[in-house]
């Protein structure tokens, strides 16, 4: 079953604009990760945020985590056409639970 739910399901913006995607999850987590997938191929790991962190940055990416609301957001600043992809959040509960539980993803289209 899906743990995370991304919002919106699809997002279309112009190059140079910022893109914000949200993720909500249901159970307590050890960490939350964001992945990118181009054209239905393999997933690329973007960033990991642990449950005791509130915000993390990596290049043009900014991730926030609110464990009280069981939600996270991914902000991509100054978007480029090459950022066009599907973005997934994935959670891991920790302990002896090794699996990643993914949401359904947000399809981001950046128009040149």
Please give the residue ranges that form the binding site for other proteins (CB under 8 A).
1-2, 4, 30-31, 33, 35, 40-45, 48, 88, 90, 92, 96-105
CB of 91 to other proteins, least distance (A): 11
Quick one: 1 or 68, whose CB is closer to other proteins? 1
CA atoms within 13 A on the CB side of 58: 11
Q: Which two tokens stand for residue 22?
A: 């949200």
Q: Are 37 and 52 in contact (CB under 8 A)?
A: no
Q: How far is the CB of 64 from other proteins (least distance, A)?
A: 18
Which residue, 95 or 112, is less far from other proteins as judged by CB?
95
Give CA–CA dist 101/13, Å, rounded. Answer: 28
Among the listed residues 71, 51, 49, the one whose alpha carbon sits nearest the alpha carbon of residue 61 = 49
Q: Which two tokens stand for residue 6?
A: 């991304």
Identity of the residue, 68 or 96, whose beta carbon is nearer to other proteins in the bound complex: 96
Minimum CB–partner distance for residue 61 and other proteins (Å): 15
Between 16 and 100, name the residue whose CB sits nearer to other proteins: 100
């Amino acid at each position: 079953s899906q743990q995370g739910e991304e919002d919106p399901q699809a997002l279309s913006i112009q190059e140079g604009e910022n893109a914000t995607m949200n993720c909500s999850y249901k159970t307590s987590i050890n960490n939350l990760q964001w992945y990118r997938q181009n054209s239905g191929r393999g997933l690329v790991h973007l960033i990991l945020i642990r449950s005791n962190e509130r915000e993390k940055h990596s290049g043009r990416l900014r991730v926030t985590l609110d464990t009280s609301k069981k939600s996270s957001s991914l902000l991509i600043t100054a978007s480029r056409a090459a950022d066009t992809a599907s973005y997934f959040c994935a959670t891991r509960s920790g302990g002896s639970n090794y699996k990643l539980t993914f949401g359904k993803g947000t399809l981001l289209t950046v128009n040149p």
